Amino acid sequence: MWCYRRLLKVPWSEKNNKEIIQMADVCERLLQRLMKRKLRLESANSGDNDDDDDDDDDDDDDDDDDDDDDDDDDDDYDYDDATATMTMMVILVVVVVVVLVVVVVVVVVVVVVVVVVTAAAVVVVVAVVVLFVLTLAVNMSKPFLNIVRIFSTASRSRSHQVAPSYFAAILLRTHAKLVLVTKRTK
């Protein structure tokens, strides 16, 4: 019966307690009217046709009209349920879309940050490598510059009579620098 189905759909809570009691009373009255109608129909089928039965039939017609109205209410109730379900679905879809948009934005931001940090790290590494190579080149070229200086000094020393110990000191310093540079590069 639609009344009891509707009654079962109402969730129980302190707020709905009064509504549940009212619906239970309505269901009970409808059940009593249906039982009376059933008894009248059984008595009519048995052959007891009185004027009272005719009056009761008029009442039955009124009851049928009431039942039709109640059925319309049942349809409206189902429509309300469908509307509520659709509303919940729309809300759920909106929430899912918003969450997806937020996730995509976060992923894009993370990717951009990773790319920027990686590019900065590459620039720093390249700069360090270039500075290391330049420093190494400068350190490696110093002994050769000293050798050039030795030969230029030697050519001048013939004319200025520079002591041989001066050349020995320059050669020893150059040799020591070469040894230090080769140890650093290993």
Q: Are 6 and 85 members of one domain?
A: yes
Instruction: Please report the pLDDT score of residue 80 as a whole number.
Output: 63
Residue 174: pLDDT above 60?
A: yes
Q: Are residues 99 and 174 in the same domain?
A: no
Asked whether residue 130 falls in the same domain as residue 180, the answer is: yes
Q: Which residue has the higher pLDDT, 103 or 138?
A: 103
Same domain flag for 178 and 142: yes
Same domain, 125 and 99: no
Give yes or no for a contact between 70 and 3, defined as CB atoms under 8 angstroms apart. yes
pLDDT (average), residues 7-32: 75
Residue 72 pLDDT exceeds 50? no
Q: What is the pLDDT of residue 75?
A: 45
Last residue of a domain, one of 59, 87, 107: 107
Give residue for tokens 């239970």: 24
Structure-model confidence comparison of residues 131 and 2, the more confident one? 131
Coarse DSSP helix, strand, coil percentages of the chain, rounded to the nearest 5 percent: 90, 0, 10
**pLDDT of 17 strictly over 60:** yes
Q: How confident is the model at residue 4 (pLDDT cuts 50, 70, 90)?
A: low
Same domain flag for 94 and 120 = no
Question: Do 121 and 93 share a domain, yes or no?
Answer: no
Number of domain units in the chain: 2
Q: What domain range includes position 36?
A: 2-107
Angstrom distance (rounded) from CA 138 to CA 86: 77
The share of the chain scoring above pLDDT 90, in percent, equals 23
Same domain, 23 and 61: yes
Per the prediction, the chain carries an average pLDDT of 74
* C-alpha separations of 95 from 92, 105, 109 in Å: 5, 15, 21
Instruction: Summarize the confidence of residues 130-135 as an average pLDDT.
Output: 89
DSSP assignment of 33-76 equals HHHHHHHHHHHHHHT---HHHHHHHHHHHHHHHHHHHHHHHHHH
Main-chain dihedrals φ then ψ at residue 16, nearest 5 degrees? -85, 0
The Cα angle at residue 167 between residues 164 and 170, in degrees rounded to 5? 150
